[in-house]
Amino acid sequence: MELDEIKYLYLLFLLPLVVVLFLFNLYWKRKKKKEFGDLELIKKLSPESSVFKPVFKLVVIILALVGLIFGLVNPKIGTKMETVKREGIDIVFAMDVSKSMLAEDVAPSRLEKSKQIVSQIINQLGNDRIGIVAYAGSAFPVLPITTDYSVAKMFLQSMNTEMVSSQGTSLDEAIKLSSTYFDDKSKTSKLLILISDGEDHSEGAQAAAEEANKQGMRIITIGIGTEKGGTIPLKKNGIVESYQRDNNDEVVVTKLNRASLETIAKATKGGYINGNNTKEVIAYIKNTLDKIQKTEFESTQMADFQSQFQWFLGFAFVLLFLDLFLLEKKTSWVKKLNLFNEEK
């Protein structure tokens, strides 16, 4: 059994409070009766008043509250086992997080545009496994291969230019690290989607791409930025304080290097597309994925958990409905049993 909303279990701490309020109410009623007159006399004046009924009503209310709380918690029980087979490909997203990706020649910025594109691509996927790599002057693993798209999006949104300490853009490091995500023994199709402005500050990107091609990888490159370029704003609390400058104290203008990205894609018989139009990128990626052969890569026995909240809520509502008809006067058959020695 698994509990869907375990946080609602804290509401069980309210039950002792209900009991305390009930006892306080009994104390208050007894005190008022004493102020009114002799307790024995008052008891004779109200012979139909029951000691048992208020306690029984309290038990009914508490059980109803327990039912409501467990209804909110929503216990789930695995009632059947089924075989789940998935067919898809392995995809790694390599995201450029160098300082140049802060340029705003593409709105809202190159980095945010990259996140939007990757998020939209993930929305189009079905059973494919995905991983995420971040890179600047070096590459950094962000998320290993997974089928949990919600987790992938969470990691994606947290990516920033502070993730990798060494600055620059090392495309070869990104390709090499991404290749380790793929299982060499698996026959699953391998796709690397590399997003960057293409300003490569390292050597060997083409060699890394050719090696990736030998491993059966295909690389699609997405260029983010404009050939005219843009400055790199340095912000604090969302306000631009200055702009990135080079060693000569000149304001840096970063431009899209389409040629380097096209070279990488060509080395693996992949493709290049400009990422400034998100709709066109998504259509291009979808068309590419449709042409790639899908492979069965997982066959797992898993429990199909079914919600049980309706039983607890039903139980609670029946008790609450019953409580409407519970009066605090004696019931005839209970009166005959004389459970509380009320008849002397």
Question: pLDDT band for position 108 (50/70/90)?
Answer: very high
Dihedral (CA of 240, 246, 249, 253) sign: negative
* Structure confidence by residue, pLDDT tens digits, 60-98: 888 989 989 888 888 877 655 566 677 889 999 999 999
Q: What is the mean pLDDT of the chain?
A: 83
Q: Are residues 223 and 330 in the same domain?
A: no
- Judge whether residue 237 has pLDDT over 90: no
Q: Are residues 53 and 24 in the same domain?
A: yes
Residues with Cβ within 8 Å of 16's Cβ and at least 6 positions away in sequence, in order, are none
Q: Are residues 218 and 94 in the same domain?
A: yes
Q: Are residues 106 and 214 in the same domain?
A: yes
Q: Are residues 9 and 48 in the same domain?
A: yes
Residue 273 resides in a domain: yes
Q: Are residues 60 and 92 in the same domain?
A: no
Residue 199 resides in a domain: yes
This prediction has a pTM of 0.63
Name the least confident of 88-92, 296-300, 310-314. 296-300
- The structural domain count of the chain equals 2
Rg from Cα positions in the chain: 34
For a pLDDT cut of 90, what percent of the chain falls above it? 40
- For 14, the domain range is 2-74+308-337
Residue 255 resides in a domain: yes
* Structure confidence by residue, pLDDT tens digits, 7-51: 888 888 888 998 898 888 877 877 776 666 665 655 655 555 666
Dihedral (CA of 228, 140, 190, 112) sign: negative
* Structure confidence by residue, pLDDT tens digits, 135-180: 998 899 999 998 889 999 999 999 998 888 777 788 999 999 999 9
Instruction: Count CB neighbours of 236 within 10 A.
Output: 8
Give the per-residue pLDDT at 93: 97
Q: Tokens 């691509």, residue?
A: 121
Residue among 151, 79, 146 at smallest CA distance from 298: 146
Q: Are residues 214 and 333 in the same domain?
A: no
Q: Tokens 């493709």, residue?
A: 271
167 is written with which tokens?
């600055």
Q: Are residues 65 and 213 in the same domain?
A: no
Q: Strands, E, within 104-238: which ranges?
A: 129-135, 139-146, 190-196, 217-223, 230-231, 233-236
Cis peptide before 108 (omega within 30 of 0): yes
Q: Are residues 52 and 97 in the same domain?
A: no
